[in-house]
Structure 1
Amino acid sequence: MDALRGYGELGLGSRLKRVSEYMMKETQLVYNHFNVDFDPYLFPIFNIIANKKGVTNSEIQNSLQFTQPAITQAINKLNDKGLIIYTLDKSDKRKKIISLSDKGYRTLDILKPIWKTIDKVIKEYTLESSSSLIEHLNILENKLNAKSFSSTIINNIKMDTTTANFEIISFDKQYAKDFYELNVEWLKAFFYVEAYDEEVLSKPDHYIINKGGHIFFAKLNDQIVGTVALMPIGKEGVFELTKMGVSPKHRGHKIGQKLMQHCINFAKVNSMPKLIIYSNKKLENAIYIYRKYGFIEIPVEENCPYIRCDIKMELVF
């Protein structure tokens, strides 16, 4: 049992300290992985110096509201690492101006993409809504315990370095097997394969392509890592955004969102009146993303083709 959780609001300070220490430790693992000689505790002061392009000790303190000893200690560490230089203020020789050294600027260039990824991962980890700070801490710590913070950042950075080889392509019969396997894997992970799923997935050309539908694939380094379909329904030019699946090892890199944006752009260009999504409310993150892209909930019809469906959404153009 987690004793700190049992303390409720009384343990808030200790909970925040624990989360802070964990994230600092994990961030250090990221720096070590990429051979960057940097300490996560130095980030706020190093970043202030980089942004100000010349700042005094007092200005750093006013900006961050840190104690003077903490600032002095960090500045000394930055100096020991050769990341900063001192110059005298031209108008007041008693003042020392702190700036990044050449090594500091080189280090900054290396750190920027890492910080960008850290920022993105933290946003993903803290995306859930909650009614109190304690509840939000519970959700955050559950995610941190379920999936290593450092490995998530490292994997995201590795993905970011390969985006030049990422593309979304249209259906080709050679990828029919990928379409089937990606969707079946997803269905088995969250639900089960219904008879209707099996029929459509086994014959995508018959049920989707030959009826005027479209299937797209996310291709990364010549490997199919995701797919989605726009399947025509009814006789009014309406399409169902469906059969979206992403390879398990490539999830968490917004490939699904890229596929969705591609479908929305495609629908607009081709003057489709609206897109329909059938889903299940237990897929909270997916529902959140659908709403983020403008889909709104509408009633589910009695003859819905999916047994698992308990929510229907539409995006009208």
Structure 2
Amino acid sequence: MDVLQELGKVALGSRLRRLGDVFACDAAKIFQMYGVDIQPKWFPVFYLLSQTEESSITAMAADIGCSHPVVSQAVKEMTRAGLIETGKSSEDGRMNVVKLSDAGRALIPGLEAQMQDVTESMDELQGQMQHNLLKAIEETEYLLEEKSLHDRVLEQRKRRESQRVEILDYTPEFHDDFKRLNYEWIEKFFTVEDADRELLEHPNERILNPGGAILLARYEGEIVGVCALFRKDDETLELAKMAVTPKVQGRSIGWTLGCAAVDKARSLGAKKLHIDSNTKLKAAMKLYAKMGFVRVVGPPSPYEKCNIQLEKILD
């Protein structure tokens, strides 16, 4: 059984490493065949230096797309093998550069013949393939540069876990959760103000009865997030008292809760959503921007902790 083949996409990195090992093994034999006494892993550095008089390790790392330590290690090994010389730049005496030694340059004719034969052999191999491997690799590299596999998996994890979040309307049984989560985040970043206590202790009188709403996020049976919608006027609601407990942050619960709040605001007839916040809440600022809120200047906030106002026009 070929485990890597059976695993498919999940083991793509391991599959590529195995294919790379196959190429590397043959490459070592090919270099030997042409009398080019270098290791396959040195080839990118050797080729770059064969095309120029001298170069710095930093420049080569950028051209190859490898880390500085990887190129530095190759240079050290090639220097010990007598293929590279180090010295000062001919253009800038403060810069250290490397270049091929006479022994290294003596290998270039054999390398050129080898590259010609390898190119034609790879063309033949490619012609036997149904898919263009080189173009697929180039496309994969481009897409992963735009967004890494790590970030793609993180987003997928958030989407999957957000589907396990239940959005609930407030009822009196959730009063303690509403207070707990809000006091938790306020005390973490700020000082609890009288205006906070008034709202948190009397949600029916201050939030619900005037035409607002409170939403809660339940995850794995626990209330982990809350937010409130305050009625400012007939067409405007304020999104506030939004908090997600730190132990579940990173699972898009804030995003799910925020989207639910926007939908709830529309159902309550709002044309606009307002937020009073603080720029020190970096994660919240990113969330609000993602949700489509933009900075505005309005009447002073009743909260001392607020230093920015945001609004979103509802479609």
TM-score band, normalised by shorter chain = 0.5 to 0.7
SS at match of 2:186: helix
Deviation at 1:121, TM superposition (A): 6.9
Q: Are the counterparts in 2 of residues 300 and 310 from structure 1 also a CA contact under 8 Å?
A: no
Q: Which amino acid aligns with 1:187?
A: I
Which residue number in structure 2 is paired with residue 65 of structure 1?
A: none
SS in 1 for 2:204: helix
For the 8 Å contact 2:279–2:308, the answer to whether it is kept is yes
Aligned equivalents of 1:177 and 1:273: distance in 2?
31
| CA deviation after TM superposition for structure 1 residue 97, in Å | 7.0
Of 232, 240, 256, 2:238 maps to: 240
Counterpart-to-counterpart distance in 2, 1:301 and 1:121: 42
Amino acid corresponding to residue 221 of structure 2 in structure 1? D
Aligned to 2:89: none
Q: Which residue of 1 aligns with 2:14?
A: 42
Aligned residue identity for 1:168: I
Question: Which residue among 146, 150, 171 is the counterpart of 1:118?
Answer: 150
Deviations 1:57-80 (A, max 9, x none): 69xx9xxxxxx957xxxxxxxxxx
> What displacement does 1:122 show?
6.9
The alignment partner of 2:305 has SS state of coil
Which one-letter code corresponds to 1:305 in the other structure? P
Shift of 1:298: 1.1
Tell me which of 281, 290, 308 is aligned to 1:283. 281
What is residue 313 of structure 2 aligned with on the other side? 316
Give the drift of 1:259: 0.8
Residue number among 290, 294, 297 corresponding to 1:296 in the alignment: 294
Instruction: State the match for 2:177 in structure 1.
Output: 178
Aligned equivalent of 2:136 = none
* CA shift in 2, pair 1:97/1:174, >3 Å: same
Runs of 5+ unmatched residues, structure 1: 1-37, 50-55, 62-67, 71-91, 100-114, 124-155
> Are 1:208 and 2:216 an aligned pair?
no
Do 2:239 and 2:273's aligned partners in 1 also have CA atoms closer than 8 Å?
A: yes
Confirm or deny: 8 A CA contact 1:276 1:313 kept in the other structure. Answer: yes
SS of corresponding position for 1:281? coil
**2:36 matched to which residue of 1?**
none
Report the secondary structure of 1:178's partner residue: helix
Shift of 1:193: 0.8
Q: Cα gap change, 1:162/1:213 in structure 2, threshold over 3 Å: closer, same or farther?
A: same
Q: Name the CA distance, whole Å, in 1 between partners of 2:202 and 2:19.
A: 58
Mapped to 1, the partners of 2:298 and 2:167 lie a distance apart of: 31
Whole-angstrom CA distance in 2 between matches of 1:250 and 1:93: 50
Q: CA deviation at 1:40?
A: 8.9
What's the offset of the Cα at 1:300?
3.8
Matched letter for residue 309 of structure 2: K
**TM-score normalized by structure 1?**
0.52
Q: How does 1:15-30 map to 2 (within 5 A)?
A: none
Mapping 1:102-117, distance limit 5 Å: none
- Quote how far apart the aligned CAs of 1:245 are: 0.7
Report deviation, 1:163.
Answer: 4.8
How do residues 204-283 of structure 1 correspond to structure 2 at under 5 angstroms?
Answer: 204-233=203-232, 235-283=233-281
* C-alpha RMSD of matched pairs (Å): 4.3
**Residue of structure 2 equivalent to 1:198:** 197
CA distance in 1, matches of 2:19, 2:235: 54
Shift of 1:98: 11
For 1:256, give the aligned amino acid: G
Q: Which digits, 9 at most, give the CA deviation of each residue in 1:84-116, with x for residues without a partner? A: xxxxxxxx89999799xxxxxxxxxxxxxxx99
Quote how far apart the aligned CAs of 1:231 are. Answer: 0.9
Structure 2 gaps, min length 5: 1-9, 28-38, 42-123, 132-146
When the two structures are superposed, what TM-score results if normalisation uses the length of structure 2?
0.53
8 Å contact from structure 1 (residues 242, 277) kept in 2? yes
Whichever residue aligns with residue 189 of structure 1, its letter is K
Is the CA contact 1:218–1:255 (under 8 Å) kept in the aligned structure 2?
yes
* Partners of 2:244 and 2:149 in 1: CA distance: 21
CA displacement at 1:316 relative to structure 2: 1.3
User: What is the Cα deviation at residue 227 of structure 1?
Assistant: 0.6
Paired residue type of 1:231: F
SS at match of 2:263: helix
Task: Give the superposition deviation at 1:209.
Answer: 1.1
| Bigger radius of gyration among the two | 2
For the residues of structure 2 that align with 1:212 and 1:258, how far apart are their CA atoms?
22
Change (3 A) 1:264 1:48: farther
* Counterpart Cα distance in 2 of 1:266 and 1:175: 18
